[in-house]
Structures are given as C-alpha cells and as structure tokens.
Amino acid sequence: MPAGLDAVFGVHAVRALLQRGDSPRVLWVQDGEAQQRLAELVDMARQGGARIERHPRDELDRLAGEASHQGVVAFTAPLAFESEASLWFKLEAWPHETPPLLLVLDGVTDVHNFGACLRSADAAGVHGVIVPKDKAAPLNATVRKVACGAAESVPVYQVTNLARALARLKEFGVWVTGTAGEAEAMLFEADFAGPTALVMGAEGKGMRRLTREACDGLVKLPMAGSVSSLNVSVATGICLFEAVRQRRGG
C-alpha cells in the first residue's frame, strides 16, 4: 500500500471519488475478468493522472479485510473536512424548492459509528453532515472504508462551536431536532418535511447540555424491548428514513 495515502474500496466509492474530481494517485485493479468490467472506471482514473497497477485477487482481499473491494482499490490523499464558512455559503445559495436535510453528530468519536452514520446519510439523501471540532471522530481511512463511498459523496462540515452553529442554522430557517431518551415526543410525531437538522448524540452520554439547549425540540424512539437505547448509527438510520418518508409524502 502506498505510504501516506488512504485506500478507497469498491466501484461505488471509487466512482464517487472520481466524480467529485478527486482523482486517485494509484489505482489497483484485480487481474482477470475484472479488468474488462472496470474498463470505464480505469479510463477515468487514468485520465485524471492515476497510475494503474494490476494485482491478484488475494492481494486485494488481504488489503480490504472485511470490506468489499469489487476488484478495485484507489489510493488517494486523506480526506479533509469542509469548512464552516462553506456551510453558510451553501445555505445562503440554497434552492428554495428543496428544503435542506442536515445530520449533526455531537460527540460521536468511534470511527466505525461515524462511517456507518455517513453511509446512512448518503442513502437518505442528506445534504451535509455537521460535526464539532472537538469530541468527534477523524475523517480517516477506517471511516472511508466503513462508509463505502459515502465519505466521498456527502459533505462533512467541521464547526468550531456546535451550539453556536445550531443557532446560526436557525437564522437560515432550519428547524433543529435533537434525539434524547428523556424526550416526551416520539420520533414519528416530529415534522421533518421542512428545512431540518437532526442532532444525534454519542452513545451513553447523548448530546451535551449546550447542544441539547440549542435544539428547537427533542424526540425519542419508541423502545418496546428490554434495551434502553440503540447504537447511534442504527438510530441515525431510523431517524433519517423517517424524514425521507415524510418528504415523500408517505
């Protein structure tokens, strides 16, 4: 594996990388039939200046571990967070016919949970993920691996002060809804059809006090079993797809 570069596995993830104009430095392609199947992807990478290398499947398997490489691995510069300024610029230029759907992660420090949250965000059509500068997982190679391409396709904005950023979101007409076990309202009672920022807290501790106070409202999931809470990435997927259901008029 080339030193100083992140590995990106799978056709979807590599295509997302190329489509955003971030051409890999090196592209590994599996020997055999995969070369023909991946010809278009290889051509795109080559045009972007990538060095193309062919490797046997067992070598890609060892590198990918539990991830699905689908015969292709791209090596690229580490991802960087989007700036807070770019978030405000994006909201100022927002097309009015499409209400923004944002995911806010407060205190999610586990890279596997972070990657899984990004994957759910991509699947739900989230327009951006917001994380604080402190008490947040890095945007590293493990996150990219777990996210399966979502880290390349969903903008992740890093803000200096999360409570202040939530207050600024309200100035743009975004309704901020937090999730908390002590909430009185259920998730399915909330209105996510308009401009929405959904705030998820860390497992165990949940949202920090200032974050909770910055929310317009709190909701909880109806828990019918013996467990008191769900993994944050699972809860994130459930909450986001409730928003999707409402926005589709379901």
Q: What is the CATH number of the domain that holds 219?
A: 3.40.1280.10
Domain closes at, from 76, 106, 137? 76
Same domain for 152 and 38, yes or no, is: no
Q: List the domain range (segments joined by +) for residue 33.
A: 6-76
Other CB atoms closer than 10 Å to residue 51's CB: what's the count?
13
Give dist(CA 123, CA 100) in Å, integer. 15
- Residue 17: its pLDDT value, please? 85
Q: What residue ranges in 143-216 does DSSP mark as E strands? A: 156-159, 175-179, 185-186, 196-201
Same domain for 20 and 98, yes or no, is: no
Q: Is residue 1, in this structure, part of any structural domain at all?
A: no
Q: Is residue 149, in this structure, part of any structural domain at all?
A: yes
Same domain for 144 and 24, yes or no, is: no
118 annotated ligand-binding residue? no
Report which of 147, 172, 151, 154 is spatially closest to residue 103, judged by C-alpha positions.
154
Same domain for 168 and 67, yes or no, is: no
Q: Is residue 30, in this structure, part of any structural domain at all?
A: yes
Report which of 197, 105, 203, 207 is spatially closest to residue 156, judged by C-alpha positions.
105
- Residue 250: its pLDDT value, please? 63
- Residue 226: its pLDDT value, please? 66
Same domain for 227 and 114, yes or no, is: yes
Domain closes at, from 20, 44, 76? 76
What is the DSSP code string of 56-115? -HHHHHHHHTTS--TTEEEEEPPP-PBPHHHHHHHHHT--TTS--EEEEEES---HHHHH
Report which of 14, 3, 1, 234 is spatially closest to residue 145, judged by C-alpha positions.
14
Q: Which sign does the torsion angle of CA 107, 109, 111, 113 carry? A: negative
- Residue 241: its pLDDT value, please? 97
Q: Which residue type does 113 have?
A: N
Same domain for 146 and 226, yes or no, is: yes
Domain CATH number, residue 19 = 3.30.1330.30
Give dist(CA 69, CA 86) in Å, integer. 32
221 annotated ligand-binding residue? yes
Same domain for 32 and 148, yes or no, is: no
Q: Give, to the nearest 10 degrees, the angle between helix 162-171 and helix 84-92.
A: 10
- Residue 181: its pLDDT value, please? 84
Same domain for 89 and 67, yes or no, is: no
Same domain for 149 and 43, yes or no, is: no
**Cβ atoms of 205 and 185 closer than 8 Å:** no
- Tell me how many domains the chain contains: 2
Q: Is residue 183, in this structure, part of any structural domain at all?
A: yes
Same domain for 147 and 42, yes or no, is: no
Stated pTM of the model: 0.87
Residues of the chain with pLDDT under 50: none
Same domain for 49 and 88, yes or no, is: no
Domain closes at, from 19, 41, 76? 76
- Give the pairing type, strands 26-30 and 72-76: antiparallel
Q: Is residue 54, in this structure, part of any structural domain at all?
A: yes
Percentage of residues of the chain with pLDDT beyond 70: 98
218 annotated ligand-binding residue? no
**Cβ atoms of 156 and 131 closer than 8 Å:** yes
Give dist(CA 48, CA 30) in Å, integer. 20
Other CB atoms closer than 10 Å to residue 112's CB: what's the count?
15
Tokens matching residue 39? 């010809």
**Cβ atoms of 180 and 207 closer than 8 Å:** yes
